[in-house]
Chains A and B, each alone.
Chain A
Amino acid sequence: NAGVTQTPKFRVLKTGQSMTLLCAQDMNHEYMYWYRQDPGMGLRLIHYSVGEGTTAKGEVPDGYNVSRLKKQNFLLGLESAAPSQTSVYFCASSSLGTGTSGANVLTFGAGSRLTVL
């Protein structure tokens, strides 16, 4: 099983450029998440989705947009990249979502390292 696949794995952008990160999962999970990981700060939730056609803001949504047109895909877009968005981005999915006691286990992708110059 592929699990959660993120593309691309690495990308270098110039300030002001746009790009889209793609996350695909083959586990039929309802819930999908985009996190960013910065040194010493753990993971911070950017946006999440509780099902096809839905999205919601997380802790740090500014400067990002997302779409969930198909259940298996969750796209993260940067319309005008800034150096502060240099980070490692992780996509994750789960079958029942957080808030369901004992049931939430996230499956993560391998990460996408983005550098904005």
Chain B
Amino acid sequence: GDSVTQMEGPVTLSEEAFLTINCTYTATGYPSLFWYVQYPGEGLQLLLKATKADDKGSNKGFEATYRKETTSFHLEKGSVQVSDSAVYFCALDSNYQLIWGAGTKLIIKP
């Protein structure tokens, strides 16, 4: 069945560092791909999405490109801030359900 694999956390970075959180997927067809973010004590919220191959989703300085050839949707940010500390979830749209990665906790130190 369809699945999503994320890099394990926690990922700890210093402020202004470059961020990459890896996400790869297995799916039949070409599902939409998503990144959701969960701040401490809150529910998840959509960060960005891409609906077809080579699409780039972007929001709040974060970017991710839908790579069909490598079945990947890696999340990147050029310069992280302390306020980016959160748990990040990669997900794909499959057969009327969202399939979720396990989440990657990001810790940014000042």
Q: Is B45 an interface residue (CB 8 A)?
A: yes
Nearest chain A residue, comparing its CB with the CB of B50: A102
**Given A40-B102, A41-B102, A105-B49, CB of A110 within 8 Å of CB of B97:** no
Q: Is B46 an interface residue (CB 8 A)?
A: yes
Q: Per-position contact with A for B87-104: 1 when CB-CB < 8 Å, else 0?
A: 001000111111011110
A98 touches B44 (CB 8 A): no
Considering only CB atoms and an 8 Å cut-off, how many residues of chain B contact the other chain?
23
Q: Give the residue among A43, A97, A101, A110 with the most B Cβ atoms within 10 A.
A: A43
Q: How large is the interface on A (under 10, 10 to 19, 20 to 34, 35 or more residues)?
A: 20 to 34
A108 touches B43 (CB 8 A): yes
Chain B residues within 8 Å of A58, by CB: 97
- Segment 1-59 of A: residues with Cβ below 8 Å from B: 4, 40-45, 48, 58-59
Chain B residues within 8 Å of A40, by CB: 102
- Segment 46-63 of B: residues with Cβ below 8 Å from A: 46, 49, 51-52
B93 touches A59 (CB 8 A): no
**Complex formed: what's the CA distance from A42 to B89 in Å?**
8
**Given A41-B102, A42-B102, A99-B93, CB of A108 within 8 Å of CB of B44:** yes
Task: Please give me the 6 A-B residue pairs with the lowest Cβ-Cβ distance, nearest first.
Answer: A108-B43, A102-B51, A42-B100, A99-B96, A43-B100, A42-B102
The residues of A with any CB-CB pair to B shorter than 8 Å are 4, 40-45, 48, 58-59, 90, 92, 97-99, 101-102, 104-111
19 new A-B contacts, CB < 8 A, other than A45-B97, A108-B45, are: A40-B102, A43-B98, A43-B100, A45-B98, A48-B97, A90-B43, A98-B93, A98-B97, A98-B98, A99-B96, A101-B51, A101-B52, A102-B32, A102-B49, A104-B32, A105-B49, A107-B45, A109-B43, A111-B42
